A and B are shown apart, each in its own frame.
Chain A
Amino acid sequence: MVLGSNNTTKDRNWLPVLVTFVLSIFLIIISSIGWSSGLRSALSYILDPIYITSSNIAISINEYISTLTNISEFRNEYNQMKMELAQYKIDIVNYQSLKNENYDLKTQLELQNSEYVYVYGKILDHMESESLIINVGLQDGVTKGDIAVLGSTFIGIVVECNQYTSSVRLPISKSSFLETYIISADETDSRNILSRAVINGSSDGIRIENIGMNSGVKNGDIVIVNDSKVGDNLVLGHIVGLSEDPATTTRSGYVSPVIDYYDLLNLFIRLKDVD
């Protein structure tokens, strides 16, 4: 009896195989003739949220795992991008430098006096804030006494010349003494000379002295360099901090340069001797 029952159980073991096989063939036939599309769309309406939720979680985990496995690759890529970024930054700085140079050249072309020959130079260093080192020298035709300008603005006088570099003394230098004249900055006033004056460098800035008491000079008026060493009228800056002492016969003050010497990148050397 027990043996018979075991045999029956063993026979029934094959039933799920048979049942599922027959049902699967039935389903395949239904599917192939297209009868299952209604059932599929109805059930997918219910089942799709389960699939979408699970799949989204799986995708997130997969992305996390792939990030972890590819971390060395990402690190290399990051380093490479850092290098590229540095290169781009260098390119931007170069571009900025070229833009400045272009602007200066344009200014010079528009304002230059055609009687002179100019040499384009770049500033290499500011020496103790009183002079500039530039990258042009004797080889480029620059000689001692040449004038550094930017457009019609006075920058300084070449005081030392080497083969490839030169030193330009700025008006702010304590050794710099130049004759100037002052004209009114007011557009409505006539452009006559208001007063003659002398400038010299000091630790406080460019000092201007010997301004006539009754000349009508006021703060903001324009200072033009007119010295035998310079040989031409070049703009220097505006008057600031004019003294108001009635007991003196002359007035003094300071000159605020048109150009900030510390921000200067390029300039032009006006050659004294064209040959």
Chain B
Amino acid sequence: MLINILMIIIGIVILLAFESFFSTLCAFSVAIIIALTLLEKWDWKKWSIVVFFTSIFIDIILYRSLGVTLLSISLSVLTLYTLFLVIPKKQILLSYIPYFLSVLLFYILLWVLSSFLEDGVFEVFSFQVFLNYLFKSLLSTILIFVVNILNSRFRTEKRISI
């Protein structure tokens, strides 16, 4: 239990380092990829606690209003579940469309909510910004796909070794 907690704390620190790094480099979010990847792999309580604290830390280090990241993650997860109601999970290519759309929504919400909660004004949403988010969402979806494949392979090997 204690080891698990320590590992989670170290994991959060590493995640914060990566989030800061990619945020400075290209405004890319690693947190949403991790959150969506762990959504179905962890218990909901554990997931909620880790996401809650991580999002607070991200808001603090990136000077966002507290709760913006968590609200964006929450709404993008809501979108993901809603889309999974109409798109079957087992079809590989189709099942990643909800991931793509939920990550896209996450970026749009971050863009809109950050400025709205700080200044009370909605930021101008240009086509160039949208294209940028489309590209980032696509990249995030590919990464989620790769992580899921790697994870399933590790599990398979474990089963074989057992």
Partner of B61, one of A28, A36, A51: A51
Proximity string of chain A (25-60) to chain B, C-beta cutoff 8 Å, 1 when within and 0 when not: 111101110001001100110011011011101110
Do A30 and B77 have beta carbons less than 8 Å apart? no
Which residues in window 24-59 of B have CB below 8 A to A? 24-25, 39, 44, 47-48, 51-52, 55-57, 59
Partner of B70, one of A12, A27, A32: A27
Given contacts A19-B48, A24-B74, A43-B57, contact A36 B66 (CB under 8 A): yes
9 residue pairs bridging A and B, Cβ less than 8 Å apart: A15-B44, A24-B68, A24-B74, A25-B71, A28-B71, A28-B117, A54-B16, A55-B21, A62-B25
In Å, the complex CA distance between A13 and B20 comes to 30
Given known contacts A13-B81, A16-B48, is B65 in contact with A50 (CB within 8 Å)?
no
- Cβ-defined contact, B39 with A16, below 8 A: yes
Give the contacting residue for A21; candidates B44, B47, B57, B71; CB below 8 A.
Answer: B71
- Bound CA span A58–B48, Å: 29
Contact (Cβ within 8 A) A50 B20: yes
Those 6 A-B pairs whose CB atoms lie nearest each other, nearest first:
A27-B67, A54-B20, A24-B71, A58-B24, A24-B70, A31-B66
Query: How many residues of chain A have a CB within 8 Å of chain B?
Result: 35
> Does B17 lie within 8 Å of A54, measured CB to CB?
yes
Is A92 engaged at the interface, CB distance under 8 Å to the other chain? no
A262 neighbours in B (Cβ, 8 Å)? none
Residues of A within 8 A of B24 (CB): 54-55, 58-59, 62
Nearest-neighbour CB distance to chain A for B55, whole angstroms, equals 8
Closest CB of chain B to A63's CB: distance in Å? Answer: 11
Contact status B117-A48, CB under 8 Å: no
A274 interface hit (Cβ, 8 Å): no
Complex Cα spacing A143 to B23, Å: 83
Contacts of A15 in B (CB 8 A): 44, 48
Option from B16, B23, B66 in Cβ contact (under 8 Å) with A27:
B66
Q: Encode A8-24 as 1/0 by CB contact (under 8 A) with B.
A: 00001111110111011
CA distance A58 to B25 in the complex (A): 5
Give the chain A neighbours of B59 by CB distance below 8 A. Answer: 27
Is A61 in the interface zone, CB < 8 Å from B?
Answer: yes
A17 touches which of B13, B52, B60, B81 (Cβ 8 Å): B81
Q: Are B77 and A16 closer than 8 Å at their CB atoms?
A: yes
Q: What B residues does A57 contact at CB under 8 A?
A: 21
B22 to chain A, nearest CB (A): 7
Is B103 part of the contact surface with A, judged by Cβ < 8 Å?
no
Chain B residue at minimal CB-CB distance from A43: B60
Which chain B positions have C-beta within 8 A of A17? 74, 77-78, 81
